[in-house]
Structure 1
């Protein structure tokens, strides 16, 4: 069976695809409030605009995953990359709030194919390397999260020297994202190979909610999807209020908070690009998942008790390390447990539930921050991951540990070397 080393080119394309998705997301997020305000949006409309992307991912991640199971990974990824080109062009051309909503909805619709990218990795990686392969997606997330806002800011400054048009300053970066999507599309068109044997495809007729109900009933897979949802919900609850919390408690401004988020991005890259790939062969998926949830719980809950910048740095380190360990080990375990003909469907359902968490989380965090106390969103977030940790303890014996190398496998590798 092939290994990660045997599939460097297709993995590079998938990595680039996910990176471009998150880079575009990171570039437009900081300019979204400015652009929407220029178009007369209220605070509520701006919030809905930010939620539109995640809403479409919740609805359509299972859709793209199911289509990729039926028609193949390659055509779905190409369609969605081409769609992203159009979506960002439309965003750049938007001059009304309605058009801006359409552009973000389309971007979320095509960006929901992240589930197909995950299924592609599951197709080309053997069981013992599955979670390490999934960590590549997390590393791409971290890079996009890190460089997106920074590149967006630089492009905005550049745009100010090109034109004095108010809309051009905020839309200029979208042209660049569209161009990057086009380059990735052309690269994938030439080099991305199909991984599905379409002659053995099973027909799936259930709708999205029936699929959610189906997979939640499957032993171990259902609880792991719930764990993934809780982790996403906890993170989005924290993210929605962290800027306000840092402003009220430490008098931080946008610049300082941006550096803080960049630090989290760096830690995600280090964790998923390096640490996960070293830990899983040593201790396996289940131990990595448990360790990650413990770290996330301490990081999220610790924010509420941090009384200095140094203490906050510790909580953010624990949080980033935990998230970097939880995501690939959970996705890898779900992929290992799922039928090979349902990889796209089950991973799409999982990513859809994660998107649902990103829709609900900001509303919960904002409501608690304003109505209870500034610490309450972080205490709740820590409680969510604590519940997820409890679930993992309950199903611990049934979580696959395919990535852990035994002494026998290590000896075999040495003999083949």
Structure 2
């Protein structure tokens, strides 16, 4: 790129020589016109670039608020389920089963909603889709704030059918960065950093509020935070996404079923399907592990809400620092495919390590040694979270780079739907594995072993797939 691209050609030597040969009338007439045109183009590019930067900054802020509001509930939910189940006469086994059912119901709703939000992005644009998403989120928290029985608790998950704020954020990042792969990877990494900033504060604050006797105040705070995001989205986000003409002239006339078929056809492409398969199966593994671990920590190791929330916050803080500092160098060093392999390997190693710590600790530790137990569990959780983050970012960077801009909304919706689909079965599998042994500590060994084995199988699957693609490319050449 040279200076002409920025409208600074008047300063170049060759330009001056040519203008001195031209007749004065022609030079005087054309020079201002050419300069004006260049300045206009430069101004338009500057305005577009400025709007893109503002959209990204507002999206980062929205994701911080979204994560804060969502994560406020995470350390509270197991205790809320326990409280409401106990009031209804449930025992420990029923509490675990109900908690798993609640997680499965939430992810079933998300599975339905994620493709719808992807279609909304293509049809009504980023701004309107974001407003709808955060308004639905606020409604969910409003119901949760007054959920005094299990029916209302399950009802609070229904509005989350459109709770896909991170999908909207990914669409904004992909739109604002255009075809620049490195910029897209960096923006996606920063988006995750924004999420983890809110997610770092959320669990610790939610646990603290729960320990001080109010299981519902965090949900009331989340209503306010979500409404703030509604206002920010309406005021600052762009009206359209990807290709404005496509969205306005074509998508509005396409039936919903055709849009769903289009998303499915994108997912079945040979260069996309293996990555989505890893996301689907890997999501199930993550769900099994994340459902089982809080139950063991609260029921067997007797963690309270603040200790559980502190561990979650530490993991999120580590991921935020990793995304902000090391994500870009790591992506350049080993590439997105290397990030996926590293993430799978890290998760496969950390799962049995967590099982060993829980087994060695058991319930036979004093109050004085409980701090050390919390530190050990938190440390392993941090490395597990870093591995999962590397896996997720590597997959999304690869998938969004394999399709055209006007297909990214449909692809991201499909990705989120598959991830939620995987988490429908995960909680049930996790609680079943725990219950298959005489106590949850022994059952967690099954959870860890299955999780590690599947992650290693996914690594092998990707290696075989990449070799097959390489051989096909070689034959074509």
CA apart distance, 1:275: 1.7
CA distance in 2, matches of 1:181, 1:291: 35
Alignment-derived partner of residue 334 in structure 1? 399
CA apart distance, 1:154: 3.8
CA distance in 2, matches of 1:81, 1:247: 31
Alpha-carbon deviations, 1:231-289, whole Å to 9, x = none?
A: 2211221112223445788x452354443333222222122232212211333212222
Q: Pick from 99, 107, 111 the counterpart of residue 163 of structure 2.
A: 111
TM-score normalised according to structure 1 size? 0.82
CA distance in 1, matches of 2:387, 2:211: 35
Alignment-derived partner of residue 19 in structure 1? 64
- Measured at CA, do residues 5 and 136 of structure 1 come closer, stay the same or move farther in structure 2, by a change above 3 Å? farther
Listed as ranges, the matches of 1:17-416 within 5 Å are 17-36=62-81, 37-38=83-84, 40-41=87-88, 42=90, 43=95, 44-106=97-159, 108-125=160-177, 126-156=180-210, 169-196=214-241, 197-201=243-247, 202-203=250-251, 205-206=256-257, 210=261, 213-246=264-297, 251=301, 253-254=303-304, 255-306=306-357, 307=360, 315-372=380-437, 373-374=442-443, 375-396=445-466
CA distance in 2, matches of 1:7, 1:226: 32
SS in 2 for 1:194: coil
CA apart distance, 1:18: 2.7
CA distance in 1, matches of 2:298, 2:74: 19
- Measured at CA, do residues 90 and 257 of structure 1 come closer, stay the same or move farther in structure 2, by a change above 3 Å? closer
Say what the alpha-carbon RMSD is for the aligned residues. 3.2
**Contact 1:298-1:318 within 8 A present in 2 as well:** no
Select the structure with the greater relative contact order (CA < 8 A; seq sep ≥ 6).
1
CA apart distance, 1:211: 5.8
CA distance in 1, matches of 2:66, 2:468: 34
**Contact 2:139-2:223 within 8 A present in 1 as well:** yes
Alpha-carbon deviations, 1:311-342, whole Å to 9, x = none?
A: 75664343122112111111111111022112
SS in 2 for 1:86: helix
CA distance in 1, matches of 2:146, 2:449: 42
Alignment-derived partner of residue 166 in structure 1? none
Gap runs ≥5 in structure 2: 1-44, 362-372, 471-477
CA apart distance, 1:30: 3.2
TM-score normalised according to structure 2 size? 0.72
Paired residues in the alignment total 389
CA apart distance, 1:69: 1.3
**Contact 1:132-1:328 within 8 A present in 2 as well:** no
CA apart distance, 1:84: 2.0
Larger Rg: 2
